[in-house]
Structure 1
């Protein structure tokens, strides 16, 4: 962290605005997720068709990330972040109005693209805001995404209980996204202009492609593990431990709550021990947690295992995104798009890979895959050490 950055007044308004976008994104995604069963019934599609359409959504999100990254560097984040938020808000109108598989497919193309675009754009803005602070603040932004999702679950459940039409719920959520995105955009900031190198100084060298892929690989592994918990934690309780559906919900709840708490705590810990240690020891804790889930078929201990898994995973991805955004401030968005995109592929691939493995082995044994990836992350975490030193 440079002296100029430390002595300058931190942009608190931009920090709050960026918090808002993270929370808004989590809220938008959460409102779509809680209404998936209603949308499935309204369109008359099967589970298998829904699965294919969700892959369409994921593919569109990846494309949105790759488009938004370079665009953020070209047109500026103050323009792109609100525009992506408005696009996401408009896209929420579609699923509630869809009446067939192909209209839902078109709607999910828009939802995925908008979600991918705002994901990269707001993470790029978070890196810029963090540079103006004397300590890490990235993990708290990701915690706000989780808070937004929790609000969506509560509001969505209330709307479903009151029999509010899906089109009304999603369209209202879309309007909220549009209004808040436009209102918060004025408080965002742009990175300071980079001085041209002096005549006697060499031009700045672009970061090695290998380093970008290393960060992306770590993001892939950690987000794959997160995706496994999202889709399989409750099923592991129900199918392996034989609990009721209501008790099974506590498995994912323990993971999600621990991850949210961990993200709020990570920034202060990262300021003390550094990003490399957060990634390394967090991945080790996650491996221990999931190994506990696998090895001890007792509900209280398994709940502790899922909580440790969430706590261990909570801080790693924000450190990787920060590192990617600071590799080259001239192309921060484009670099983040690659790392965030690879992480997102892992998030989507994890549940599917576990599902495929369960055709040949028990679910608990299939969980060895994310454990191995966490162990590999422990081994590869030192890639962050020179990046942290360069930032200081």
Structure 2
């Protein structure tokens, strides 16, 4: 197959497949978000217990990211993608079928493992595609993820009164598998993805702590802040509107829908913004600006909802939209910066940064849940708001 197409043609084909793969990653990973309040109530979980459930996905994500960093360099990206696209939907199907804390925990573990594998590997392929095609596509790939997340949120919210969570999530999982399998065949062949199984390559083996790898840790912490904010907006947004503002089923998914729509806008304009203003400036403005507006919206809208529900509803959605605009370009910006550190294989660098950031994406909602039980959910939401500001601070380590 690699002899029948030019490298440029392989790059274009992989680019098209990646757009679709990232779309379905958003669909699968966010498929349960609009149904979280129902699942929480059906299993009988408190806020802290729901937070504990998220630890399952955290553990899965950490192990999945570590596995991906080594596996793609040993076996090539195509083989790793082919396995990961099956694991993620199985996790979602398990989440829809869960009737106990333990079952939901294990399903989230599977989801986290598959998601981290596919995310790290997909981003590694994306770096090589940009090199082959000589165009900037990274942020648009993540834009497709946001489109998928938005679509699945709108779908889940719109059918909440007619379809139960089990049917919703199992259906989404099965449909995603049917699309994922053929798409995985169009990844780059081994001779073009720069991961040919040469495990002796020194660039693939880097120390955990060293001067040359220190930037990866700082980039990881920056990504951690952005992804903790993203994970908390995803997993707690509907509950914030339902429990703290009295907004009913279906409509309480509006906060994450606003967040996702804003991320779509930010990501499809992100490649232009990163080129014109530079990744560091985009992350800095998005982190500080998003945190200020999001935090102000929560502080105003929650108490206002008792007396003026409509203005409060509008304000809270503006806040979530501002967070989405700020977070949108962050992950791609840190990924690109990591992939261009001299002397370190891109797949390994992306995995090192990604394992820190993706762990935050999953563990952030857990901490938010504990804080919500100790204080209240509106107060707890200022934790991800602060971490979004932290991401803006770590923009200083981005040198590309």
Fold match by TM threshold 0.5 = yes
Alpha-carbon distance between aligned partners in 2 of 1:93 and 1:227, rounded to the nearest angstrom: 20
> What residue number does 1:141 align with?
141
Distance 1:289 1:39, change over 3 A: closer
Q: Once structures 1 and 2 are overlaid, which stretch shifts more, 360-369 or 120-129?
A: 360-369
Q: Does 1:177 align with 2:191?
A: no
Higher RCO (CA 8 Å, separation ≥ 6 residues): 2
> What residue number does 2:259 align with?
255
Q: Once structures 1 and 2 are overlaid, which stretch shifts more, 375-384 or 215-224?
A: 375-384
Q: Map 1:202-281 to 2 at 5 A.
A: 208-234=212-238, 242=245, 244-245=247-248, 249-281=253-285
Asked if the contact 1:135/1:271 (under 8 Å) is kept, the reply is no
Q: Once structures 1 and 2 are overlaid, which stretch shifts more, 125-134 or 298-307?
A: 298-307
> What residue number does 1:198 align with?
none
Offset, 1:68: 1.4
Alpha-carbon distance between aligned partners in 2 of 1:120 and 1:95, rounded to the nearest angstrom: 23
> What residue number does 1:60 align with?
60
Offset, 1:71: 0.4
Consecutive unaligned residues of structure 2, counting only runs of 5 or more, are 1-6, 197-201, 305-311
Offset, 1:216: 0.4
Consecutive unaligned residues of structure 1, counting only runs of 5 or more, are 1-6, 196-201
Distance 1:341 1:295, change over 3 A: same
Alpha-carbon distance between aligned partners in 2 of 1:177 and 1:38, rounded to the nearest angstrom: 22
Larger Rg: 1 or 2?
1
Distance 1:174 1:239, change over 3 A: closer
Q: Deviations over 1:214-250 (max 9, x none)?
A: 110101111122233234445555666x554477544
Alpha-carbon distance between aligned partners in 1 of 2:98 and 2:243, rounded to the nearest angstrom: 34
> What residue number does 1:129 align with?
129
Asked if the contact 1:288/1:309 (under 8 Å) is kept, the reply is no
TM-score of the superposition, structure 2-length normalised?
0.77
Distance 1:10 1:69, change over 3 A: same
Asked if the contact 1:78/1:188 (under 8 Å) is kept, the reply is yes
Asked if the contact 1:292/1:302 (under 8 Å) is kept, the reply is no
RMSD of the TM alignment (CA)? 3.7
Q: Once structures 1 and 2 are overlaid, which stretch shifts more, 257-266 or 285-294?
A: 285-294
Q: Deviations over 1:289-339 (max 9, x none)?
A: 124325545634444333222211211121111222333686322322222
Asked if the contact 1:127/1:138 (under 8 Å) is kept, the reply is yes
> What residue number does 1:3 align with?
none
> What residue number does 1:31 align with?
31
> What residue number does 2:308 align with?
none
Distance 1:35 1:329, change over 3 A: farther
Q: Does 1:383 align with 2:382?
A: no
> What residue number does 2:364 align with?
350
Q: What is the number of equivalent residue pairs in this alignment?
A: 371
Query: Secondary structure, in 3 states, of the residue corresponding to 1:31?
Result: coil
Asked if the contact 2:95/2:107 (under 8 Å) is kept, the reply is yes
Alpha-carbon distance between aligned partners in 2 of 1:82 and 1:244, rounded to the nearest angstrom: 41
Q: Map 1:96-175 to 2 at 5 A.
A: 96-98=96-98, 101-156=101-156, 161-163=161-163, 166=166, 170-175=169-174
Asked if the contact 2:153/2:256 (under 8 Å) is kept, the reply is no
Query: Secondary structure, in 3 states, of the residue corresponding to 1:11?
Result: helix
Offset, 1:49: 5.3
